[in-house]
Amino acid sequence: MTLNQTTPTEEITIDQTLDAKGLNCPLPILKTKVLLNIMQPGQVLYVEATDPHSVVDFEAYAARTHHEIIQQGVNEGVYEFFIRRADNPVKI
C-alpha cells in the first residue's frame, strides 16, 4: 500500500503527540479520539502508528468527525498523521 504524503505550505506546530506504535485497530483511533476531545479547536495532534490499517482508519475517522488530516506519511514502517482538531467535530 502506498501512502500519500502531503507537503504543507507552512511549518506545522504540534500541540499534542500520541505514540500508538505497536497498537492494533481500534486502539490508535480510540486513543486519538480521547486526545482530540480534550484539545482546543485548531490544535494539531501528531500520531505515530505501526498498524498498516491505521491509514484507512484515520482517513475514515477524519471524514466522519470533520477533523482534518493536514499531513500524513510513512517513515521506516511508522505511519505519521498530523490531525487538526475541528471547530465543531461530529461526535461518534
Scanning the structure block, which residue is given the C-alpha cell 498498516? 52
The answer to whether residue 25 is catalytic is: yes
DSSP-derived secondary structure for 16-79: EEEEETT--TTHHHHHHHHHHHHSPTT-EEEEEE--TTHHHHHHHHHHHH--EEEEEEEETTEE
pTM of the model: 0.88
Amino acid at 25: C
Fold of the 21-81 domain: Translation Initiation Factor IF3 (3.30.110)
Query: Each residue's pLDDT tens digit in the chain (92 positions)?
Result: 334 444 454 689 999 999 999 999 899 999 999 999 999 999 999 999 999 999 999 999 999 999 999 999 999 999 999 999 999 999 88
Backbone angles phi, psi at 7, to 5 degrees: -115, 115
Query: Which residue among the candidates 23, 25, 27, 35 is catalytic per the annotation?
Result: 25
What are the residue ranges spanned by the domains of the chain? 21-81
